Structure 1
Amino acid sequence: MERRLSAILSADVVGFSRLMGLDEVGTLTSLKAHRRELIDCKIAEHHGRIVKVTGDGMLVEFPSVVNAVACSAEIQLAMPGRNGDVPQDRRIEFRVGINLGDVIVDGEDIFGDGVNVAARLEGIAPPGGIAISASVRDHVGDRLGLAFEDMGERELKNIDHPVRVFRVLLDGARMASEGPSLEASSLPSKPSIAVLPFTNMSGDPDQDYFADGLVEDLITSLSKVAGLFVIAKNSTFTYKGKTVDMRRIAKELGVRYVLEGSVRKAANRLRINGQLVEVPSATHVWADKFEGAVEDMFDLQDRLTESIVGAIEPSLRRAEIERARRKRPDSLNAYDLYLRALPHAHANTPADTEKALRLLDEALRLDPNNAAAHGYAAWGHEQRFFRGGFHPEDRAAALEHAHMALSIGANDAQALSIGAFVHANITRDYEGAIGVLDRALKLNSNSALAFGFSALANAHSERHEKAIEHAMKALRLSPFDPLNYHPYCALALAYLFTDRFADAAAYSTLAIQTNPNFSVSHA
């Protein structure tokens, strides 16, 4: 029997029998819609595997504990918005239990104490809530910016030992879904964001300048992200000190996303909380908290800007991908097709590469000047060349698209990064690639993607210290990025070439856990 350590998520619908008694067809239709439009997408996004579905229940396996908790939190935070127009007694709510434990693998199924504990945790979770074991709590730490309540040791049915249980506190991050929804036609086709003035919670007017300076830095840094429409400070600051419904702000400014936050001073410490909301769906895309010493205020402001922008960019990308998935196939434009290609490009398996290339070809047919699409097309053809038989036509196509990405995307950090790395992989000119990647990082010093590709290029050029530095920067900027197998691979190479074999093996394992289907990591 095969055994492995896994994060196990068990979920079911609260009061499913009662809901079915009220309206069988309506309940099943709603449940299928939630799965199709939200749950299955989130599970795939966080690299989970649906083991089984049993009526109202679901068992999911994750290679990462952090991914399991992040996935369940995002689902639970999205559900109030999806239930907004549904009568209270007909709303579908989920209970979720998560455990880290040893499982027995039998074909596609898993069994064992680890699974049983997850199922029992789900049974004691509150409606709309998440209950986790102590091992899960320890592994998550502070990585997700979530708070936890210690519920103490519990005796769980048919489990022969007490289990210490924690509840994930989601209430502070929930957003009411009231008022009419925004019309999609009032929003730009590409992501648009307004950064609102951060609230000064300390009661000290002298802290206003710090909060305002932080917001100004955020707006400036976000403006450097290619393809992102950012509302200017002069417009967003008209809302300072006012209590205005977020939906109204989004409608008046014509944006899909709103970033808001607060600053609080306590003794000699500053704490900053931030949250990014997709307003039409009332979904929290990202939330986190940061703190530091008052003495290092301006250094803290720089670090906060870097961390927030680094986290927001991939969070926006994930939200935009999910939005494109929800659109009907007959209403897709070039940007939607490009977004739909990204998860397949990031998965980086031969089958996913084929799917990505088909979508990118169609996107480029509609918009031949999309530099980022050329970059990802170059990457797809490069992967097909190296992993699909070394066909000359794939090599030529990879170089052609890389050239287009580099020429059209001269001011696009993403296009430059991908184009440079693909060109280097095929021509072995890593020195030239490093120069382009350095230029990309000057354009956007918070691009985790650029730092990840730079780490790989420097590792291949035997610039081990710079490879390690840039890999760590990529991981710090975007700790839950689906492309983190890139910096992990770079770290593995750098440590391998400097005879630190244990570290190389550890980072190779992390690369495999981040993307088990990327065969290069296994080598």
Structure 2
Amino acid sequence: MATDIVGYSRLMDGDEAATLAAIKSLRAEVFDPLLAEHKGRVVKLMGDGALVEFNSVVDAVACAVAIQKAVAAHEAGLPSNRRIVFRIGINLGDVVVEGDDLFGDGVNVAARLEQLAPPGGVLISGTAYDQMRGKVGLPLDNMGEQRVKNISEPVRTYSVRMDGAPRAWKLRLRRFRRWVPVAAAAVCLLALTTSATWWFRPIDGVSDKPAIAVLPFDDIGDDEATGRLADGLTEDIVTDLARFPEFDVVARNSTEVYKGKPVDARTVADELDVQYVLAGSIQRQGERVRITAQLVDTRSNNHLWSDRWDRPAEDVFAVQNEIAEQITNRLGNGVGVIQEAGRIAAHRKPPGNLSAFEYYLLGTEKIERFTKEDIEEAIKLLNRAIELDPGLARAWVELYHSHNLLANFGVSPADELKAAADAAERAVRLDPGDAEAHVVLGMSFADRGDLARAKRELDKALQLAPGSAEILTFYAGWASTFGEPERGAEMVDKVMRLDPNYPVWASSSFSYAYFMVGRYEDALKVLDRLTEDNYGKWNWVVRSSSLAGRTRAWCALRA
């Protein structure tokens, strides 16, 4: 049951205290009792969601419908702009069981159905429908087959017609990038996922994550091939941005209504309750395509970022993938445009008014300065974020980096590495679907000499976010240790293409990756981005070794 709150950011902006109180009431009075009644078992949290297992598809569907009806009744006496409304999706499919965890296409499809579900509605896959047909007296609308990215067969979908609702229109065909690692099917059960992380987290802290809407890219010229490229690019950007837990991304079915229409960013912001709007266009010129993109802050109406690409048109899919990766890495990642805008806004507020998320943003800013003093300050800021919201997994991720860096600077190495390991384990427990959480756990295992587990965690991170410059950055520094030095250097080369303005701290792992394949000149160029107060002990080792390697190579050439 993939569930999210429609317009959550708008509700929080309107009245944080009232929204939190309403959520607490719903958790106690609706969700927990209904899950217990219908024998639902919570398996794990997944970023903005959770995985719940049911032994019966009938129980799962009955639970979903009961939740929607109970929430509607609970909220009926409130003004329409203060009501809490959910989307829910259900799937029956094969999964892989690893300990208490579940993976596979059965989970993936369940997660995607929620994004297609209408507000206040329940969307069911065809496999779930086949098992419940004739057993539950519910009016269902056949919504047709939906193309799900990386799933070979289309997914049949059915929408529950809730009391008083008219017959639903068929949903548009969509594609999705699969975001959970795939393995051979082992057990057939019902995957019921919910993206209401607040249900399981402490609710006293307030998160003010930004939200972004990606408008359909305009097809200038209106030819079929360019139109397909525009649709594919929009879809890939939405899917890639959705892997970043630092902000919320509006599902594509909600932005599709703007396709081909001249729209104002502020109008979109009001209708979809977002702070940022990404728009772009694609134009074919002979054998080349020109792609533009721009990010607008709807509160100020300022253009925060824009770029343009001119590429050969012979391989439109390669162009689509390249541009989508570049855009998402520029907007996302720890040094992305959206993160930076959040930091600037946080600096304008008095410290006493900062939220947990804003303390987290300021902590990441300190880490990027890469000095011992700034890292110590980052730890204070991140600990404050955790005091306000102990469930903020990304703060624990950054605490790993902070403690690990202090150990690299020679500050109580044993104590700092222990603190780093504890933070990494906490991050994965809180958010098993966060690729960076798996990265830091992997690096923690490597710090302790457990290379097999380290590689498994880093590989899992790369499966969750294959095009992330940040994940590639972290992995590149360890590839040589795993016996794959060439792969590490290739990862650095890809990061350079995706994010030429990579953060200063990445210079350490990049220089080591280049050094290990004998690219001494490249290693020294990367290290030149660091000043002396950024240098840890290991940087001096790599620098001196690279100088020696370069000198030996020159001597060999002269000989």
TM-score (norm: length of structure 1): 0.59
Could you give the per-residue CA deviations for residues 483-519 of structure 1, whole angstroms, max 9, x where no partner exists?
A: 4x42x4334323433444334323322x426x96243
Contact 1:188–1:255, Cα closer than 8 Å, also in 2: no
* Distance of 1:385 and 1:255 partners within structure 2: 40
* Distance of 2:285 and 2:259 partners within structure 1: 22
Bigger RCO of structures 1 and 2 (CA < 8 A, at least 6 apart): 2
* Distance of 2:386 and 2:508 partners within structure 1: 30
Deviation at residue 467 of structure 1 after TM alignment: 0.7
Matched, 1:467 2:488: yes
Corresponding residue of 1:446: 467
Counterpart code for 1:517: N
Show the 5 A alignment for 1:379-458: 379-390=401-412, 392-425=414-447, 427-458=448-479
Deviation at residue 284 of structure 1 after TM alignment: 2.3
Corresponding residue of 1:521: 539
Deviation at residue 264 of structure 1 after TM alignment: 0.7
Matched, 1:310 2:332: no
| Residues 1:227 and 1:503: Cα distance change in structure 2 (over 3 Å) | closer
Corresponding residue of 1:225: 244
Q: How many residues align?
A: 332
* Distance of 2:527 and 2:413 partners within structure 1: 28
Show the 5 A alignment for 1:24-63: none
* Distance of 1:482 and 1:491 partners within structure 2: 11
Corresponding residue of 1:4: none
Counterpart code for 1:220: T
SS in 2 for 1:243: coil
Choose from 324, 346, 361 the match for 2:383: 361
| Residues 1:399 and 1:493: Cα distance change in structure 2 (over 3 Å) | same
Comparing 263-272 with 462-471, greater Cα deviation is found at: 462-471
Counterpart code for 2:358: D
* Distance of 1:440 and 1:273 partners within structure 2: 30
SS in 2 for 1:400: helix
Deviation at residue 253 of structure 1 after TM alignment: 0.6
* Distance of 1:380 and 1:303 partners within structure 2: 32
* Distance of 1:355 and 1:340 partners within structure 2: 10
| Residues 1:233 and 1:199: Cα distance change in structure 2 (over 3 Å) | same
| Residues 1:459 and 1:327: Cα distance change in structure 2 (over 3 Å) | farther
Counterpart code for 2:276: Y
Deviation at residue 382 of structure 1 after TM alignment: 2.1
| Residues 1:244 and 1:504: Cα distance change in structure 2 (over 3 Å) | closer
Corresponding residue of 2:299: 280
* Distance of 2:483 and 2:539 partners within structure 1: 18
Contact 2:379–2:402, Cα closer than 8 Å, also in 1: yes
Contact 2:221–2:284, Cα closer than 8 Å, also in 1: yes
SS in 2 for 1:512: coil
Matched, 1:508 2:527: yes
Contact 2:441–2:457, Cα closer than 8 Å, also in 1: no
Matched, 1:325 2:347: yes
TM-score (norm: length of structure 2): 0.56
* Distance of 1:380 and 1:428 partners within structure 2: 20
Deviation at residue 283 of structure 1 after TM alignment: 2.7
Deviation at residue 394 of structure 1 after TM alignment: 2.6
SS in 2 for 1:224: coil
Corresponding residue of 2:371: 349
SS in 1 for 2:467: coil
Choose from 268, 275, 279 the match for 1:256: 275
Contact 2:289–2:313, Cα closer than 8 Å, also in 1: yes
* Distance of 1:419 and 1:405 partners within structure 2: 8
Deviation at residue 453 of structure 1 after TM alignment: 0.7
* Distance of 1:396 and 1:414 partners within structure 2: 19
Corresponding residue of 2:498: 477
* Distance of 1:522 and 1:512 partners within structure 2: 11
Contact 2:207–2:355, Cα closer than 8 Å, also in 1: no
Matched, 1:243 2:275: no
Deviation at residue 448 of structure 1 after TM alignment: 1.2
Deviation at residue 229 of structure 1 after TM alignment: 1.0
Corresponding residue of 1:198: 217
CA RMSD of aligned residues (A): 2.3
* Distance of 1:387 and 1:491 partners within structure 2: 18
Contact 1:455–1:470, Cα closer than 8 Å, also in 2: yes
Unaligned runs of 5+ residues in structure 2 are 1-205, 542-559
Matched, 1:214 2:236: no
Corresponding residue of 2:509: 490
SS in 1 for 2:314: helix
Comparing 321-330 with 435-444, greater Cα deviation is found at: 321-330
SS in 1 for 2:433: coil
| Residues 1:406 and 1:251: Cα distance change in structure 2 (over 3 Å) | same
* Distance of 2:452 and 2:245 partners within structure 1: 25
Contact 1:467–1:490, Cα closer than 8 Å, also in 2: no
* Distance of 2:342 and 2:404 partners within structure 1: 26
Deviation at residue 392 of structure 1 after TM alignment: 4.0
SS in 1 for 2:296: strand
Corresponding residue of 1:189: 208
| Residues 1:503 and 1:337: Cα distance change in structure 2 (over 3 Å) | closer
Percent identity of the aligned residues?
33
SS in 2 for 1:438: helix
Could you give the per-residue CA deviations for residues 207-261 of structure 1, whole angstroms, max 9, x where no partner exists?
A: 3232122112211221222232111112112112222221111111100110000
Contact 1:406–1:419, Cα closer than 8 Å, also in 2: yes
SS in 1 for 2:375: helix
Deviation at residue 297 of structure 1 after TM alignment: 1.3
* Distance of 1:504 and 1:207 partners within structure 2: 41
Counterpart code for 1:521: N
Deviation at residue 197 of structure 1 after TM alignment: 1.4
Contact 1:462–1:494, Cα closer than 8 Å, also in 2: no
Unaligned runs of 5+ residues in structure 1 are 1-186
Contact 2:207–2:356, Cα closer than 8 Å, also in 1: no
* Distance of 2:295 and 2:382 partners within structure 1: 28
Deviation at residue 318 of structure 1 after TM alignment: 1.6
* Distance of 1:499 and 1:224 partners within structure 2: 34
| Residues 1:275 and 1:522: Cα distance change in structure 2 (over 3 Å) | farther
SS in 1 for 2:282: strand
* Distance of 1:222 and 1:288 partners within structure 2: 17
